[in-house]
Every structure is written in structure tokens, then in C-alpha cells.
Amino acid sequence: MGPIDPIEAAHAEEVWPLSIEAGWNQNVADWRFMLGAGRGFGLRGADGRWQASSLVLPLGQRLAWISMVLVTKDLRRGGVGSELLKRCIEEVRAAGAVAGLDATEQGRPIYLPLGFHDLYKISRWHLDRVPTTHVPPPQGIALRPMVLADLPRLATYDRPLSSMERPTVLAHLATRQPGLAAVAETPSGKIAGFVLGREGRIATSLGPVVADSEAIALALIARATAATKPPFIIDVPAAHREIGAWLESEGAVSPRGYMRMTLGTAKGLDDLSHVFALAGPELG
């Protein structure tokens, strides 16, 4: 194994083929943002091409997300992914933070011996058409398009409910797909929920969705799916059965899932009472 090199935001187009080979949904804009907001580590081949990647994305002083651990087919099962994962863990520990990640069924057995523990299951839903069912918000709640002036209040609303400090992530997503970004409000103008999303290589990714209730969250999700073209991908904690049942009734399928895991304890991260869809395994 060669030396581990930093991956910079300027390398986004060069490292993107790893996502394509893996069949993942990230596009160049995703890579550029993640590498600019976080720290990337990878391995180059003799020809200078990136053969493996990993990434640490800070979500506040006490939490960092590990993602994008990708290894080209020719190097798999050679320990490269494990070495990059350990490098990411060292980076997080050096910052005095807790590491979080979303593990596939294949990845979870690798993370458990390293000390990661389960938080909750996530269902990844694929929806290939615009839903036909109108879902109004609860009485007294109004939905409206999000505007950039909402972002400071949005970050304040999101922080205690998601247990993540991610104003940069929220601001980035708000500009990626402004047409589907929406806010739920009470009659007094208090934020009661929001939905964001982004275009991907394969499908539009919906999330995060954070709200006061599942009924508000479902109305926000339905609004977002009507605001742009399918197909859609949405990662929903499996405990939110009402949203899962609605998606299934609209023809969505969930062929795979994830397990949210942490190395150490991140206070409140296992509280799903207000988190109804995730930003994705790469963003936390």
C-alpha cells in the first residue's frame, strides 16, 4: 500500500469516478462541497489516479462524520479501506470528537470490532414517480418556500433536534435545490419543520427533514416530491412507520438499509423524535 495523501476540493472531478464505479449517487458538486467542508484522505495509483478515498466531515466540535470510504475494484480486500478508515478515526479522535457513520450490511461487521455501536436502522427508499396523494400539513401549520434569510433561524431550530451543528451543510443544500427547499411554520411564524434536498448522479436525494411531528414531516416530503422530477432517494429512520407506509403506498421500494453507528456517545444523536429523513450517509 502506498502513502495516504490528502484529497482536496480541487480533486473533486478526479475522485468522482470512485462513486461512479461503486454505483453511488454523489456528483461532482457533492464531492467538492464535502472535500471543502471536511478532510479527505486517499490513495493514488502509479498513474496518478485516485484508487481509494475516505472523508471526515465535522458536524460541530464534538461530532464528525466518516464517509466515502471507497476502494476501486482492483484493490478491494487488500486492507486499503480499513487503513483509510483507521486514519479517519485517528483524525476524529485527535479533534476530541465522536465519530459517526452509516454502515451498510457489509460494512457493519467491520465497524463493530473497532468499537462502533448501533444507534438505529435506516431504510433507503427509492421512488420513481411523483406521488399522487396530496398530504396537507396539520391544522394551523403552513408550508412555504425556504429563502436564504431563513438559514440562521433554521440552524438554530435544527441544532437541538438533530444533535448536529451543520449550518454550512444546510446552507449548501438550500442553494443546491431551492425549488424543493421548504419551511413549515406556525401562525406566529415559528419554524415547525423543514425539508432540503439535492440533485444526484442517479436521483434527487431528499433530506434532511426535521420537524415538530411526523405529520408535518410527511407534508414536507410530499411537497418536495411534487417540486422536482423523479426519481428520488430518501433515507428514513425505520422507526417512522407512517412515512414508510406512505412511501410504499406511492410505489417506493426499500431494497437496502443502513445502520447508524457511533464510536463513543454523541448526546441526543439516537433521539429520532424530530428527525424524519437524513441528509444521507455522506453528510450525516
pLDDT profile of the chain (284 residues), mean per 10: 88 96 96 98 92 96 96 79 93 96 91 95 96 94 97 97 98 95 97 97 97 98 95 98 96 94 95 97 95
Whether 112 is covered by a domain: the verdict is no
Cell of 203: 436521483
Q: How far apart are CA 71 and CA 73, in angstroms?
A: 6
Same domain, 143 and 224: yes
Whether 119 is covered by a domain: the verdict is no
Per-residue pLDDT, 98: 97
Whether 102 is covered by a domain: the verdict is no
- Residues 67-105: tens digit of each pLDDT: 999 999 877 776 888 899 999 999 999 999 999 999 998
The angle at the Cα of 180, spanning 173 to 166, to the nearest 5 degrees, equals 25
Per-residue pLDDT, 54: 97
Same domain, 72 and 136: no
Give the residue from 75, 59, 33, 63 showing the smallest Cα distance to 42: 75
Whether 109 is covered by a domain: the verdict is no
Same domain, 160 and 224: yes
Whether 33 is covered by a domain: the verdict is yes
Q: How far is CA 94 from CA 22, 87, 118, 166, in A?
A: 30, 11, 23, 20
Cell of 77: 480486500
Mark which of 48, 80, 96 sits at the end of a domain: 96
Contact 94, 86 (CB under 8 A): no
Whether 23 is covered by a domain: the verdict is yes
Q: How far apart are CA 174 and CA 273, in angstroms?
A: 23
Using the 8-state DSSP alphabet, how is residue 9 labeled? Answer: G
What's at 60, amino acid-wise? G
Q: How far apart are CA 224 and CA 221, in angstroms?
A: 5
Per-residue pLDDT, 256: 86
In this structure, what CATH number is given to the domain that contains residue 220? 3.40.630.30
Same domain, 187 and 236: yes
Q: Quote the number of domains for the chain.
A: 2
Same domain, 197 and 270: yes
Q: Which parts of 128-274 are beta strand (E)? A: 142-145, 182-185, 191-198, 204-211, 232-237, 253-263
Contact 173, 197 (CB under 8 A): yes
* CB atoms near residue 118 (< 10 Å): 14
Same domain, 189 and 232: yes
- Residues 229-245: tens digit of each pLDDT: 999 999 999 999 999 99
Q: How far apart are CA 253 and CA 202, in angstroms?
A: 16
Same domain, 86 and 141: no
Q: How far apart are CA 169 and CA 176, in angstroms?
A: 11
Cis peptide before 136 (omega within 30 of 0): no
Range(s) of the domain holding residue 266:
124-277
Same domain, 210 and 70: no
Same domain, 178 and 82: no
Per-residue pLDDT, 40: 97
Per-residue pLDDT, 201: 96
Whether 117 is covered by a domain: the verdict is no
Q: How far is CA 132 from CA 211, 246, 276, in A?
A: 23, 11, 21
Same domain, 192 and 265: yes
Cell of 25: 449517487
Q: How far apart are CA 2 and CA 51, in angstroms?
A: 11
Question: Average pLDDT over the chain, rounded to whole?
Answer: 95
Mark which of 81, 96, 111 sits at the end of a domain: 96
Same domain, 43 and 181: no
Q: Which parts of the chain are beta strand (E)? A: 5-7, 39-44, 50-58, 63-71, 98-103, 117-127, 142-145, 182-185, 191-198, 204-211, 232-237, 253-263, 275-277
Same domain, 76 and 129: no
Mark which of 45, 79, 96 sits at the end of a domain: 96
Whether 101 is covered by a domain: the verdict is no
Per-residue pLDDT, 78: 64
